């Protein structure tokens, strides 16, 4: 009986197989079989990756060991972070965590590889940074990072923008103060969009100069007594605003608005579905992916975390849920942690 030498499989066949592995853990195991398999599966050619869930224990990551799990799985992986005691890691943007430890340079960290990249310094008065979106191709020159923060000196929220390799940030103060607590923000086609729920206004800033380019017509103002959370994200080249409606501590529904720019008349129009797209939301930000890239996953859905205080501030119930925009139903999905989670896209290149 002949024994198959798996190392002799054709490289073209190995390459095709490797591109079908959406889970990064399967891809890593595939590359570990032998040198032939490793050379046939370049990380830069890997298929679109399903996001993983990072167990964040709040808004700052300060643990030596980060715990993560693949989407819709109860399997937990632990990644040891070097020099974690020096880090205050704010929530992720794509595959990076933002390190904003006081007294040390701001940097980006890829927890899957341990690689870091230095960012320009910010004034010490600017605190509470978290990343909004990362625009580019993963740590290449001139890739763009956008963050939101709070200036303790002027008591205003700010948007910060830097391109990798730049020596400084472009800092944009947001007019007013508390009104931006429930705002949503996004870089889109050379502009920074900032929408504020209570007034319904959308301010649009030029991403090069930081000056106001234009202000969009107001949407309906939101009653401050209404419990909502708003996100802004890009999906299939379109800019979306997504509102999560909460009643009695339970998520009831979502509303989606799309930027319409007919004849340079910018406005938000409500839409009722997102076709094949899947939207992933966590505490501060969100992103979308095409469901057809992943076998067995359903499009036209929103994946989100629901946080509910059970009996005291120390007892938080967290669920991973899927909202189907078609039938308006919410389904609870497997989630192995009992604390807040954040989405992160694994990248090992």
Q: How far apart are CA 289 and CA 94, in angstroms?
A: 12
The per-residue DSSP string of 247-281 comes to ETTEEEEEEEEEEEEETTEEEEEEES--TTEEEEE
Residue 34 has pLDDT above 80, yes or no: no
Tens-place pLDDT, residues 310-320: 666 566 688 89
Calculate the average pLDDT of the chain.
Answer: 81
Least confident range of 38-42, 119-123, 152-156, 277-281: 38-42
Q: Name the pTM for this structure.
A: 0.85
Least confident range of 136-140, 164-168, 173-177, 345-349: 136-140
Q: How far is CA 35 from CA 11, 13, 101, 320, in A?
A: 11, 15, 39, 38
Residue 339 has pLDDT above 90, yes or no: no
Q: How far is CA 55 from CA 16, 101, 212, 323, in A?
A: 32, 19, 37, 21
Tell me, what's the pLDDT at 340?
80
Local confidence band at 267 (pLDDT 50, 70, 90 cut-offs) = very high
Tens-place pLDDT, residues 205-263: 999 999 999 999 777 666 656 678 899 999 999 999 999 988 877 888 899 999 998 87
Residue 138 has pLDDT above 70, yes or no: no
Q: Which of 167, 172, 170, 168 is nearest to 185 (CA)?
A: 172
Measured N-to-C along each axis, helices 24-31 and 11-19 cross at an angle, to the nearest 10 degrees, of: 160
* Both tokens assigned to 23: 């889970």
Tell me, what's the pLDDT at 64?
62
Tens-place pLDDT, residues 46-86: 566 788 888 865 445 555 678 888 888 888 888 777 665 55
C-alpha Rg value of the chain to the nearest Å: 21
């Amino acid at each position: 009986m002949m024994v198959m030498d798996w190392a002799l499989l054709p490289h073209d066949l190995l390459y095709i197989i490797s591109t079908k592995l959406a889970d990064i853990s399967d891809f890593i195991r595939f590359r570990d079989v032998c040198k032939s398999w490793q050379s046939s599966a370049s990380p830069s050619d890997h298929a679109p990756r399903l996001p993983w869930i990072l167990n964040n224990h709040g808004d700052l990551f300060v643990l030596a060991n980060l715990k993560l799990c693949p989407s819709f799985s109860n399997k937990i992986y632990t990644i040891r972070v070097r020099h974690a005691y020096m880090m205050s890691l704010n929530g992720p943007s794509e595959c990076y965590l933002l390190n904003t430890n006081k007294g040390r340079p701001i940097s980006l960290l890829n927890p899957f590889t341990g690689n870091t990249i230095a960012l320009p310094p910010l004034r010490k008065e600017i605190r509470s940074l978290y990343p909004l979106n990362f625009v580019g191709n993963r740590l290449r020159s001139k890739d763009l990072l956008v963050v939101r923060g709070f200036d303790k000196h002027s008591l205003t929220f700010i948007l910060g923008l830097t391109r990798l390799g730049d020596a400084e940030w472009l800092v944009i103060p947001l007019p007013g103060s508390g009104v931006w607590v429930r705002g949503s923000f996004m870089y889109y086609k050379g502009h920074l969009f900032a929408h504020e729920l209570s007034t319904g206004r959308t301010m649009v800033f030029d991403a090069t100069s930081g000056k106001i380019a234009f202000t969009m017509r107001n949407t309906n103002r939101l009653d401050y007594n209404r419990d909502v959370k708003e996100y802004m994200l890009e999906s299939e080249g379109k800019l979306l605003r997504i509102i999560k409606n909460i009643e009695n501590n339970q998520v009831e529904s979502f509303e989606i608005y799309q930027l319409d720019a007919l004849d340079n008349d910018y406005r938000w129009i409500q839409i009722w579905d997102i076709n094949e797209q899947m939207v992933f939301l966590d505490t501060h930000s969100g992103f979308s992916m095409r469901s057809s890239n992943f076998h067995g996953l359903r499009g036209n859905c929103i994946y989100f975390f629901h946080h509910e205080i059970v009996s005291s501030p120390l007892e938080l119930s967290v669920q991973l849920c899927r909202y189907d925009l078609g039938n308006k139903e919410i389904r609870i999905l497997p989630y192995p942690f009992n604390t807040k989670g954040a989405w992160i896209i694994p990248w090992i290149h």
